């Protein structure tokens, strides 16, 4: 899931300066799971903003709403008209959600309440850890399901750097060596021979070209077109 954290309160109030009617819009998927932008977080932020507005004598009107996903057009469409009643929408979604919301709610401005952190997992209650960089060339099938791109400080493809001590990364004593984890996992799976194959240099140009990436499914586009034609 995409993990996010709420921006500092002062930064949020700074972005809202001058607006009198604010809609706080939560997202019910990723950032809800990591307790950054779901219904509860919308309620808490709304209460804080109302209190601040009262103390500062700003007289700001605060609205609250949460939709299932801000990165999907079908979930945004029902609140387009609602947004017209506000001067600004404060999005509690990841950066992708903020951008699609901005496209669809024009001319109403959209500002972010969260910082998008990474794609990760919930390790335990209250702890989320990065596990994927979205590099576009997944090698988890080779490394026993442990990603050296996201979990190795040096993004090494073919084993450890030699700087780890007792399975701990030299970069941080709180970080296990990713390649020690890979070795242990492959040993447990009985697949250590996988490590004997040298992995070639990867072509990172698609993910580092500066051009936004996309995934296009011609079969789905064709099916949609045929469905529309038959109606």
Domains of the chain: 2-118 (3.40.50.2300), 138-231 (no CATH)
Report the C-alpha gap between 111 and 130 in whole angstroms: 25
Closest among 68, 111, 65, 120 to 91, alpha carbons compared: 111
Does the pLDDT at position 209 exceed 70?
no
Across residues 143-165, what is the average pLDDT?
92
Rg of the chain on CA atoms, in Å? 22
Residue 168: exposed, middle, or buried by beta-carbon count in 10 A (0-12, 13-18, 19+)?
middle
Tell me the pLDDT of the chain averaged across its residues: 92
Across residues 193-208, what is the average pLDDT?
82
pLDDT band with cut points at 50, 70 and 90 for residue 229: low
The count of other CB atoms within 10 Å of the CB of residue 204 is 13
Across residues 51-65, what is the average pLDDT?
96
State residue 207's pLDDT score: 65
State residue 213's pLDDT score: 73
């Amino acid at each position: 899931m995409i993990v996010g954290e709420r921006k500092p309160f002062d930064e949020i109030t700074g972005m809202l300066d001058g607006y009198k009617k604010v809609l706080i819009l939560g997202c019910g998927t990723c950032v809800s799971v990591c307790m950054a932008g779901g219904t509860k977080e919308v309620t808490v932020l709304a209460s804080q903003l109302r209190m601040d507005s009262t103390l500062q004598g700003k007289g700001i009107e605060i609205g609250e709403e949460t939709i299932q996903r801000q990165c999907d057009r079908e979930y945004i469409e029902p609140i387009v008209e609602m947004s017209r009643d506000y001067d600004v929408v404060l999005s509690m979604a990841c950066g992708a959600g903020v951008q699609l919301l901005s496209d669809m709610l024009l001319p109403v401005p959209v500002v972010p309440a969260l910082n998008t952190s990474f794609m990760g997992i919930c390790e335990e209650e209250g702890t989320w850890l990065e596990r994927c960089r979205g590099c576009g060339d997944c090698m988890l099938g080779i490394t026993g399901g442990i990603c050296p791109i996201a979990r190795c400080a040096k993004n090494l493809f073919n084993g450890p750097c030699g700087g780890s001590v007792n399975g701990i990364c030299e970069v941080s004593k709180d970080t296990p060596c990713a390649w020690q984890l890979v070795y242990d996992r492959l040993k447990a799976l009985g697949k250590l021979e996988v490590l004997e194959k040298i992995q070639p240099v990867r072509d990172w140009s698609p993910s580092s070209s500066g051009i936004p990436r996309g995934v296009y499914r011609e079969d789905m586009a064709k099916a949609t077109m045929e469905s529309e034609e038959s109606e």
